[in-house]
Amino acid sequence: MQDLLYFFQQLINGLTIGSTYALIAIGYTMVYGIIGMINFAHGEIYMIGAYTALIAITGLATLGIAWLPLILIVALLCAVIVSSSMGWAVERVAYRPVRGRHRLIPLISAIGMSIFLQNYVHLAQGSRNIGFPALMEGSFRFGSAEGFQLSLSYMQITIFITTLVCMTILSLFISRSRIGRACRAVSQDLGMANLLGIDTNRIISATFVIGAALAAVAGLLLGMYYGSVDPLFGFIAGLKAFTAAVLGGIGSIPGAMLGGLILGVAESMTSGYLSGEYKDVVSFSLLILILLFKPTGLLGKPEVEKI
């Protein structure tokens, strides 16, 4: 019984972190689906979202506002606005001018952007870890008070629900709205979509903005859940999210969700039953194995190499 509860606790831990990986992974998967490049700077946009949320929360606290829903809404709005603008600007500055050139060129540009943004925040805000105030505490508990108690915190529940809501809205948006339809058309065939009168530049900008907005949501949630931010944490989270996107099949939105959850659970089981030291080794190995044996991922469509 004890061991079973322990297992479930680790499962919950894994699913929580997995669902935020999924939120970040959306940004990778949508951009890759449309213009076929890895947006290396996406992890940094997530980090900037977390910073902005913290700045907003601190600002409200300074003003003496303590009503939790208001704080959350304002922080969320600020994070989403700043991150989306960042996503838009990054695409404008670093990716649009090099679109259509040799595959290496946008990729190197993206790595440069990632290094730039990391150091931009590092210089502006300092390199120290800054704590998020604890806004949402408390948890549901299961199991006898004597032994191991399973706890499901309010924060974890919030993360699950928010992720589900975001994913549902996004899926509906992609399948029903005009822009969503245009997105799908562009990802099928960019040139053709252009010929048919779709403003492809706008659609590409839109995917960057949507991806950045979801990353900002993840930034706020994770900042509150873990408790601190620093300028370097976006990079590794970005890599993990990219792994999740590849695992689920890059270009596929349900795939990103699935990949995120699998990766999160794999990580928490590794630290739960083996050792935390090997957590990153496991996720990178998972990435390599997937790319080697099933490059299309779990839910991805096989891609024909175009000339």
With contacts defined by CB under 8 A, name the span among 7-15, 67-75, 188-196, 255-263 that binds other proteins: 7-15
Neighbours of 177 (CB within 10 A): 11
Q: How far apart are CB 284 and other proteins at their closest, in Å?
A: 4
What is the C-alpha end-to-end distance of the chain, expressed in Å?
58
Stretch that binds other proteins, among 173-181, 189-197, 198-206, 219-227 (CB under 8 A): 219-227
User: Mask 155-174, x = binds other proteins (CB under 8 A)?
Assistant: x-------------------
User: In which element (H, E) is residue 281 found?
Assistant: helix 279-293
Site for other proteins in 24-43 (CB under 8 A): 36-38
For position 100 contacting other proteins by CB under 8 A, the verdict is no
Sequence-distant (≥ 6) Cβ neighbours of residue 60 within 8 angstroms = 70, 71, 74, 75
Which one among 230, 254, 296, 298 touches other proteins, defined by CB under 8 A? Answer: 230
The rounded distance, in Å, linking the Cα atoms of 292 and 34 is 23
298 binds other proteins (CB under 8 A): no
Interface residue with other proteins among 4, 100, 149, 195 (CB under 8 A) is 149
CB 98 within 8 A of CB 24: no
Our CB check for other proteins shows the closer of 174 and 240 to be 240
Q: Does 291 bind other proteins (CB under 8 A)?
A: yes
- CA angle 85/90/91 to nearest 5° reads 100
Q: State yes or no: residue 295 binds other proteins (CB under 8 A).
A: yes
Coil, strand or helix: which one is 252? coil
The residue range among 66-74, 175-183, 189-197, 285-293 that interacts with other proteins, by the rule CB under 8 A, is 285-293
CB 107 within 8 Å of CB 42: no
User: How far, in whole angstroms, is CA 300 from its chain's centroid?
Assistant: 18
- The least CB distance from residue 40 to other proteins, in Å, is 9
